[in-house]
Structure 1
Amino acid sequence: MLQVKRLIARFWPVLRLRSIMFSLLLLVAALPGVAAIGLRVYENALVRRTEAELIAQGSALAASTAFGFTRSAVPTAQGPSPDPQDYDDRTISTHIDLRTTPVLGERPDPAPTALKPDPAAAEMALAWSPVIDQTKETTLAAIMLLDRQGIVLTGRDAGKSLATLPEVRAALAGKPLTTLRHNGAYRQSYALEWISRATDIRLHHARPIIVDGRVVGVILLSRSPRALFRGMYEDRGKIAAGTAAIFLFLVGVTAALGRTIVRPLEALSRTTRSLAEGRPAAPPQPTLRVQEIDSLIRDFATMAAAIEVRSHYLRDFATALAHEFKTPLTGLSGGIELLQDHGAAMSEAERAGFLANMAADTQRLNRLISRLLDLARADMQRPHEDASCDLADVLARIADGFASTGFTIELTAAGTPAHLGQIRLRIDGSALETVLTVLIDNARAAGADTVTLETALAGQDLHLMVRDNGSGIAPNDRDRIFEPFFTSKRAQGGTGLGLPIARALIEGNGGSLTLEPANGGASFLLILPRRD
């Protein structure tokens, strides 16, 4: 099976979307035509149309020839009376179906009989023979008049009997009947006529002639149905017009689909290549729009913007990282060179001083590496559907952990403590503790002696405000405090990665961390999703 799949994949053509859509639409458009020919729908319609014509002709001739009989000539005791429930001459109802109607053998020749034709019927046939002959020339149907005994009254077989035919027996009983019979005189005219089932059959329709409620004779008509190919040829104008209309419709639909789907995808492909090459990439704006393509373009624009932001972030991050590592590395490199060149001439105090500076630079590098790993883990964190923590427990642990002389953690909630204890958040408890620890450590480093944790419910979220009474954040630094490596406490060993790590942890759990305006000290707002 795998080899077959590989073989198919090897020779499978890579087509354009336009070609696939047009081919699919063309196939769908061709299906009704193929089905019509395959199921003989059109052919069956032609046969029924021929049957309807024979019924109409027979009805007209039966009604007309009935006037050829006089009331005195109609027998009163002979001939069956038709059942009015089974015979209705008001409508033309066809019942021939090529799929279900049996095809009888070729109609046998009339048989000799000792019976004499009915005089009244013979007189009527003689009077109506010109009308019958003219009708035969016009309709191309074979027409025979029979009397109430089934004896032929016209043509070369006059005087012979067809009373044994099923259709004649039915007509003599007052019921019109159409049968299908093989046509022995058929000769093939078209090369593909064998496809059609109706090419070598002939319809035979027998209809009673009724006078004063009595059957006095029978009109027997026969005709070959319109051949499928001949009917198609006669309707070639309609078929050609329909084919052209379908083709034009397909071209229009393909053009519309091309403008709504193919062109935007091609433009999006070009834009993607431009984005990959680092060139400006503006998403396409198609004139004809569909929701799925619009959604794809919006997603692409979001992705391009995210890539642009990420690119600037990585560039700035790399620059800041190089700067942060360059300072301690420069100190280490300088100390090593001094010790190598002048170490022997230095006093013990001088060497100890240089080694202490080098150790401090080494510790700073270790702190930077550790914080960078923390930032990377926080930045890659994504919300976990099972993450959960109890808000009251987390705040209690934070308050107990930082409680000390001269430093206070105050808790305030928009509700009773019992209500606060019922709140569960969709965030890992350790991540929330880490964020609050960073904010409280920064507050203590800024000289604060009180940190207030205020909670309030807002729809499906919890708002947690962290306020302190420290020295606050300089106005010029407020827009940069979440940038990696930005710190005003570098001399005290600050790395400038605490707040970026805190924001990454919160956003990785579906929340947000922002700096809010404050009259004194600093105020940070955490928006945390609640668990239902």
Structure 2
Amino acid sequence: MRPRKPRLRTVLLAANLLLLALPLGGLWLLRLYESALVRQTETELVAQAAVIGAAYEAAWHGGAPPAPGPGWAPRAAVLDLAKDPVLPPAPDALAPDRPADPRALAAGATLLPVLAAAQRITLAGMRVTDAAGIVVASSGGEMGLSLAGRAEVSAALAGWPAAVLRDRPPQPGVGSASISRAAPFRVFLAHPVMEGGAVIGVVVLSRTPASIDQALHGKRWEMAGLAAALLLAAGVLALVIAYTVSRPIEAVAAQAHAVAAGARATLLPRTRRSAVREADEMWAAIQSMATTLEYRADYIGAFAAEMSHEFKTPLAAIRGALELLADHAAEMTEAERATFLSQAAADVGRLDRLVKGLLELARAEAPLPRGEEDCDVAAVIRGLPMPAPVALEGEALRAAIPAERLATVIRNLADNIARHAGPGATGQIAWRRAGAQVVIEVSDDGRGVSPGNAGRIFGRFFTTARDRGGTGLGLSIARSHMATAGGSIDLMPGGPGARFRLVIPAA
């Protein structure tokens, strides 16, 4: 069983898809990495907010440690660039309609130095508000102003932690190596501080995540190695395609040139097997074409030799008769002149029969255009005039052969009965269906075919009735017609007489 190989188009498609997937996959990975940077920043802010919230709660109780809550309450990062919108920049803080909670102001005052020191390390913006959203501690400005109008702060004042992305104007002078981050958005996080199920304050943090450029700058050597690996992979892929596809095709092309230059199929080198079926199929086609061309060349050479031999004898006889008549016609009797003229006329008739037989052989070996390809066997055979007494036996059957070809074959076999079976011989033609085939048997009760001639009767120009006008082309024409129709004709052993068996595919 031959191994199944991919088509050339499959290999090329896979290569193109791979080359397309490399940049697309890179873009997808960069987008995914950008989301990872956002979640990393959010995770950092969650950790900072938890610490600042615990410190605020302790200060709220006058420095006493807060009572631990029931069980664990981890908070994971939730922001995703693919799903979460980037909101407009944060609105300005507004003046409150009432003063801040004094207890919250006292707790916030203790956090001011902590926030200032922490911001030097984290670079995050830090705000702590009371239960109404009024800022009581800040690493920068907005002290005493209200942040309750921001969506994330409003959610935290209701007891729900929140994180959002907000647009950030471009920052001039910020580069890949800068400590300031250049991303076009900023992460805002609001963490509620709870006591007994009530909100006593909100920790509001903001930080710009690292940009792709800054992240890649830190991994520039690793990225350079990845680029080199991709280039190496592309080069190896090109070499593989060249080795598995191009080289076998080039070898097949070289074989085609060798065939065109006259090399014989038996001398062509075997092309090594390739990874795709097209190259193997092309080599097989070249080999088949070379074999066919050799067969045609040998056929034409043998045919030309046989034909020249067949034409040479009657032409020489005609030339001799004409030369004798030209040189000695006056000295000949009337009977002698008539003998030479009748001999020349007989040779001319033989040449005419040879020419007609050759034309019929050429038509038999030429494929017919597709069209009528089947016929009623009984109608064709019963409609032919028989030159000898022939009994017909068979019912209506359709065979996959044009009526004209079948009629020519049967006519030639019937002529053989009249020419070779002997005086008083009779023949029989019987046809029947045998599975997917139609079998026709043509037999006679005459003298039959000698064992010495049995292997030669289908050869061109072989005849035992040359003196009776035989050309030796009838059976050769019949075999060519049968082969063109996908059938066969054979001389069956046994007797009495000759028995031919025709096998044709049923229609």
Structures share a fold, TM > 0.5?
Answer: yes
Q: Which of 124, 132, 148 matches 2:131? A: 148
State how far apart, in whole Å, the 2-side matches of 1:336 and 1:348 are.
15
In structure 1, the residue matched to 2:193 is 209
Any conservation in 2 of the 1:260–1:290 contact (CA below 8 Å)?
A: yes
Equivalent residues in 2 for 1:43-442 (5 A)?
44-68=31-55, 90-97=75-82, 101-105=85-89, 107=90, 110=93, 116-125=99-108, 132=115, 136-152=119-135, 153-157=137-141, 159-163=143-147, 164-175=149-160, 176-183=162-169, 185-187=171-173, 189=175, 199-236=183-220, 239-281=223-265, 282=268, 284-382=270-368, 384-398=370-384, 401-402=385-386, 407-409=389-391, 411=393, 420-421=395-396, 423-442=397-416
State how far apart, in whole Å, the 2-side matches of 1:358 and 1:262 are.
65
Any conservation in 2 of the 1:389–1:427 contact (CA below 8 Å)?
A: yes
DSSP 3-state at the match of 2:215: helix
Q: Which of 452, 477, 498 matches 1:522? A: 498
Uncovered stretches (5+) of structure 1, i.e. residues with no partner: 1-19, 75-87, 191-197, 414-419
Change (3 A) 1:140 1:21: farther
DSSP 3-state at the match of 1:453: strand
- Tell me which moved more, 344-353 or 128-137: 128-137
Q: Which of 482, 489, 498 matches 2:465? A: 489
In structure 2, the residue matched to 1:443 is 417
TM-score with structure 2 setting the length: 0.82
Distance apart, 1:320 and its partner CA = 0.7
Change (3 A) 1:300 1:238: same
Amino acid at match of 1:215: V
Deviation string for 1:485-532 (max 9, x for gaps)? 22222222111111111112122222222233334433322111112x
Distance apart, 1:462 and its partner CA = 1.3
Amino acid at match of 2:298: H
State how far apart, in whole Å, the 2-side matches of 1:178 and 1:304 are.
75
Any conservation in 1 of the 2:387–2:415 contact (CA below 8 Å)?
A: no
Any conservation in 2 of the 1:21–1:254 contact (CA below 8 Å)?
A: no
Uncovered stretches (5+) of structure 2, i.e. residues with no partner: 1-8, 62-72, 177-181
State how far apart, in whole Å, the 2-side matches of 1:26 and 1:384 are.
41
Any conservation in 1 of the 2:248–2:273 contact (CA below 8 Å)?
A: no
Change (3 A) 1:280 1:251: farther
Amino acid at match of 2:302: D
Calculate percent identity across the aligned residue pairs. Answer: 31
Any conservation in 2 of the 1:61–1:219 contact (CA below 8 Å)?
A: no
- Tell me which moved more, 149-158 or 271-280: 149-158
Distance apart, 1:430 and its partner CA = 3.0
Distance apart, 1:439 and its partner CA = 1.4
Deviation string for 1:299-337 (max 9, x for gaps)? 332222222212111110011111111112212222222
Amino acid at match of 1:508: T
Any conservation in 2 of the 1:456–1:463 contact (CA below 8 Å)?
A: yes
Any conservation in 2 of the 1:472–1:522 contact (CA below 8 Å)?
A: yes
Any conservation in 1 of the 2:86–2:185 contact (CA below 8 Å)?
A: no
Any conservation in 2 of the 1:424–1:530 contact (CA below 8 Å)?
A: yes
Any conservation in 2 of the 1:207–1:219 contact (CA below 8 Å)?
A: yes
Distance apart, 1:456 and its partner CA = 4.0
Distance apart, 1:467 and its partner CA = 2.6
State the number of aligned residues.
477
- Tell me which moved more, 111-120 or 345-354: 111-120
In structure 1, the residue matched to 2:67 is none
Any conservation in 2 of the 1:104–1:181 contact (CA below 8 Å)?
A: yes
State how far apart, in whole Å, the 1-side matches of 2:495 and 2:409 are.
23
Any conservation in 2 of the 1:113–1:159 contact (CA below 8 Å)?
A: no
State how far apart, in whole Å, the 2-side matches of 1:250 and 1:478 are.
67
State how far apart, in whole Å, the 1-side matches of 2:290 and 2:482 are.
24
DSSP 3-state at the match of 1:215: strand
